[in-house]
Amino acid sequence: MEAAFILEKLILVVIVFTVTLVIAMYSTLAERKIAGFMQDRYGPDRAGIFGLLQPLCDGGKFFFKEEIIPAGAHKQLFILGPVIAIVTACISSAVIPWGQQLTIGDRVINLQVASGINIGVLYIFGVIALGVYGIMLGGWASNNKFSLMGAIRAASQSISYEIGMGLSLIALLMVTGTLQLEDIVAQQSGFVNWNIWVQPLGFLIFITCAFAECNRVPFDLPECETELIGGYHTEYSSMKLGLYMFSEYINMFVSSALMAALYFGGYNFPFMYDLGLSENWITIIGTLVFFLKIFGFIFFFMWIRWTLPRFRYDQLMNLGWKILIPLAIANIVLTGVITLVKDTYFQ
């Protein structure tokens, strides 16, 4: 029983890791394709049909490039930086419920790696906060003032927007009454119960903060890849740079999954119990629907990237501290008042 349980979880972990990495890999292609289409061109389409082999070529190129560690760099921390970035990006997907339960024979398989953890949301926040260390260490260990400045920018941006993100989530948690992600998703069955209808303002704040947390346009100041030398990963080359970029795409995938799970009903889809499907089929379709929602969010991330210009640094800080945080607090108060009124007068 115990061995079967471990095996089951191990298989699930491997599947989740593979899917995460493959999606992150193909996000790079999707980004370039979407950029192309939005600018009236094709994007990469030479490697394989529709350019499907492009990510493999890019990965191969990263592996074969010369690896440079600057003479003044702190070698251990220099290597540790990208490792922390990618590990924290990968492990944050552990508490996301990918689907309901699958029943094979008399075994019930939970499609969530760490199921039954009642601090799911907190865990994700902790891991995201750890992700800053990867950037900070990388920037500091490079022994380059530009890297350090990029890292400081990245760290201050992440930390400021984490507050807004957390506050917007508190309002959501007041509605759901639980920190357990599978419960939050299960509460949203159907279509009208999705949290987006209850917390539209909270979602707006959350998605803005998610953009900032992922260092995506319009908040990509830590990198400024279009005009500056590269921010915290200036001194990085070869696969270490690849790991940093990869971890960013994984972060994007995970935050898309988180938004889909928290606000857009996760694996729930309209009329899921009225179609007369068996339990397993509902689970499978639900998982596919969940991924569809995630891809929708990833597309939205990219769509925004090729639409908006970058914020100036003071604008970024103004938005984070003077607008989003007060707005999130107002949202909490509003949610509290509405909940109270509903409980007292409309029982």
Partner 1 sequence: MQSLSNRKKVLEQKPMNFWERMYLPAIAKGLSITIKHFFKKIPTVKYPEQVRPYSKNFRGQHSLKRDEEGRERCTACGLCALSCPAEAITMTAAERTKEEKHLYREEKYAAVYEINMLRCIFCGICEEACPKEAIYLDGPHVTAEYLRKDFIYGKDKLVEPKFDITKLNQING
Footprint of partner 1 on this chain (CB under 8 A)? 34, 37-42, 45, 303-304, 306-308
CA 98, CA 110: separation in Å to the nearest integer?
A: 9
Min dist. Cβ of residue 45 to partner 1 (A): 8
Q: How far apart are CA 51 and CA 188, in angstroms?
A: 38
Of residues 8 and 45, the one with the C-beta less far from partner 1: 45
Question: Which CB, 36 or 59, lies closer to partner 1?
Answer: 36
Q: Which is nearer to partner 1, 78 or 297 (CB)?
A: 297
- 103: β partners: 108
HSE (side-chain half, CA atoms, 13 Å) at 284: 7
Structure token digits, residue 213? 């947390």
Q: Residue 110, SS3?
A: strand
| CB closer to partner 1, 204 vs 284 | 204
Cis status of the peptide bond prior to 200, with omega within 30 of 0: no
Nearest residue (CB) to partner 1, 75 versus 312: 312
CB of 286 to partner 1, least distance (A): 28
Tell me if 259 sits within 8 A of 210, measured CB to CB: yes
Min separation Cβ 23 and partner 1, Å? 21
Taking phi over 0 as left and psi of -120 to 50 as alpha, with beta for the rest, 100 belongs to beta
Would you state the structure tokens that stand for residue 267, as one six-digit string?
Answer: 């694996």
- Would you say 47 or 122 has its CB closer to partner 1? 47
**CB 21 to partner 1: min, Å:** 27
Partner residues linked to 108 by β-bridges:
103
State the sign of the Cα–Cα–Cα–Cα dihedral 292, 297, 299, 300: positive
